[in-house]
Chains A and B, each alone.
Chain A
């Protein structure tokens, strides 16, 4: 086998004292702890054209950001649509997700919404129809309404925060849930604060 190069061997070289963590941050006592994940709501104003949603969802897939929910719909401007995404990541991951999203050419603007922003989700819950009155009463408790009744089932519509819908789903569970559909979060900033 041929020789290689000359020079001091690895163990004879002076060792630097520092280190970085897995996020590339120089380790000091404050930064040493691995950051905790949190839920962030991102709102993206995008060109309303084919392929944009696929491109956005593909970006999150290929960069391994975990999408918790995603909603998309038109805005008052026919050329623009709004995508609302919820992700759960440590802070550097959220920052990176925002920057990667902003980098897509058809994405016009991206903001992370304040924790105080209005966040709503809609659920349709189809439960067993044997006790329609009780179902109606529970629906009222959650400011929901009954939207369809048949011999076998009652379907109710609930709007609210994710937590409220989680609670409602749990409560309706006692009637026996046949089917359920949830939209994911739609969100806007409160008051005069602009979303994007």
Chain B
């Protein structure tokens, strides 16, 4: 909580207590900017992340009188990632704010990230006054043009009277149907413009009508296919999380005893320690999940877009399976993998429909036994000999062990991300927060800030980061310190852009071009310089104590784990390969 906001809150609470009224006075609409802020209040926005600047100043000024908490980030990319993680953890829209020109372009990576992962992020950007648009004015950039391909929809607000409605629509649209980022570009003459028009309650455009329920006849046919399947497999994607359908998904899997694999964004939809759960599939997914995918005769995919990191080569993906595809976005049906049974609708609702239509479960005991066998044949394990440096998998397991089941884990992108998702056992959705589709290094730390502010309980927020990823957005540590946020950053430091080094070893004859750091900062000291607490760990016997101390510290903490630089991520399906031909070691690549 920023100092000013805290003070203001305190004053307001005191006043409210005297008046016997729990609600703060809503923003008085006098300008386009106050109208925009009023629309955010109407939409229930409580927290937003941003960076000040010339063209967005009127909106910031309007926030002075608002009850909305604003977190001042170090860089706009951090603001977008924090808003993104805020959405992933809470399910409520994440809002970020930036000025025109560089402020807006710095948001672009975060918006593209939210777009790839279907996260409800609302970006508000300042713009030069309309009479200067097109003149290459100071800090002018074509923000709506730049962001059109990476937003669900964007808006150029041209009128102070309607800007509030536009902002409200952007918020409503971001979170409805298949979620995604929206952006409103706010020219300074519009935000400064006079208006006393109250914005209406946020609503999506009349022409926007996502389909909730699947066609009954199609459901009946798909249910028949599930009943008749000999080797059925459920595939839960991020769409199950978005639709808050984990409960329905679990109920369906357990009632009909169908094994489950998830995608990476779908982690936690099924408890990973459940007998039916084979964990996540894809390039670095478990061997047993990938074996199941390649041998199933009916893949029941819910809320997934069949990303190539999941499918590997399309020609060899689930080659024996008919596909039931449940998705709210018709454009995902048969986009990458042909759907034999397309079911368009909300994940939870369609699973209920399927459940209603099913008369009996499939007879699949032999198949379940086969899945159990694969789990034993391809265990997720690692060797930790005394004469080799600290293994990253051990660190992840130690963190998992030391934290509660409710802990939230964020990550950057690379080897550490894979180890974290492989060796942490997730039991609930919205606990694994990562950059999946875009693969944005540097996502982890700002995401931890957004996650911390989104979580209402006392659960731990742990950012498992890489040395390369951490260096990309390290400035956000200043925000965590300033806002006194209780987060723990665990850096798996191998002094490499490790995933690149792994690929160079496998596919480029070990020529480590621009992969290794010949020198790297001492992250424990860097953390202390920022005002956080820092630890350095080199050996197994230091791990438990450092983890305990860092988790106990009530504020931002950083542990710099110096791990075995030679450790690689396995299993690995070579890019474009068949899922069941995963390598278990470098020799098999």
* A interface residues, Cβ below 8 angstroms from B: 1-10, 13-26, 47, 50-51, 54-55, 58-59, 62, 92, 95-96, 99-100, 102-106, 108
Contacts and interface: CB of A to CB of B under 8 A. Distances in A.
A22 B207 CA distance: 34
A22 B152 contact: no
Interface in B320-335: 320-322, 329-331, 333-335
Contact of A4 (B144, B208, B314, B584): B584
Say what secondary structure dominates the interface of chain B. Answer: loop
Interface in B293-310: 294-295, 306
Residue from A5, A24, A54, A96 whose CB has the most chain B CB atoms within 10 Å:
A5
13 contacts: A9-B584, A10-B582, A16-B580, A17-B319, A20-B315, A20-B319, A24-B338, A25-B338, A26-B321, A54-B148, A58-B149, A103-B330, A106-B153
B570 interface: yes
A6 B331 contact: no
A24 B319 contact: no
B568 A2 contact: yes
Report which residue of B173, B333, B338 has the largest number of chain A beta carbons within 10 angstroms of its beta carbon: B338
B586 interface: yes
B153 A5 contact: no
Given A3-B585, A102-B330, A103-B331, A54 B145 contact: yes
Contacts of A100: 331
Decide if the interface of chain A is mainly helix, strand, loop or mixed.
Answer: loop
A20 to B, nearest CB: 5
A96 B333 CA distance: 9
B319 A6 contact: no
Contacts of B588: 4, 9-10
Given A26-B319, A55-B148, A105 B205 contact: yes
B322 A26 contact: yes
Contact of A7 (B208, B287, B321, B338): B287
A20 B585 contact: no
Contact of B314 (A24, A95, A96): A24
A10 B317 contact: no
B6 interface: no
Contacts of A106: 153
A26 B381 contact: no
A102 B210 CA distance: 11
Given A51-B144, A102-B330, A5 B380 contact: yes
A5 B156 contact: no
A7 B314 contact: no
B320 A5 contact: no
B208 A105 contact: yes
A58 B39 CA distance: 30
Contacts of B10: none
A103 B315 contact: no
A16, A92, A100: residue with the most chain B Cβ atoms closer than 10 Å: A16
A24 B568 CA distance: 31
B564 interface: yes
Given A5-B287, A24-B337, A106-B153, 4 more contacts: A5-B379, A18-B320, A19-B319, A47-B207
B404 interface: no
B581 A23 contact: no
A58 B156 CA distance: 17
B322 A8 contact: no
9 nearest A-B pairs in the assembled complex, by CB-CB distance: A4-B585, A18-B319, A105-B153, A24-B337, A99-B331, A7-B378, A25-B338, A5-B584, A18-B320
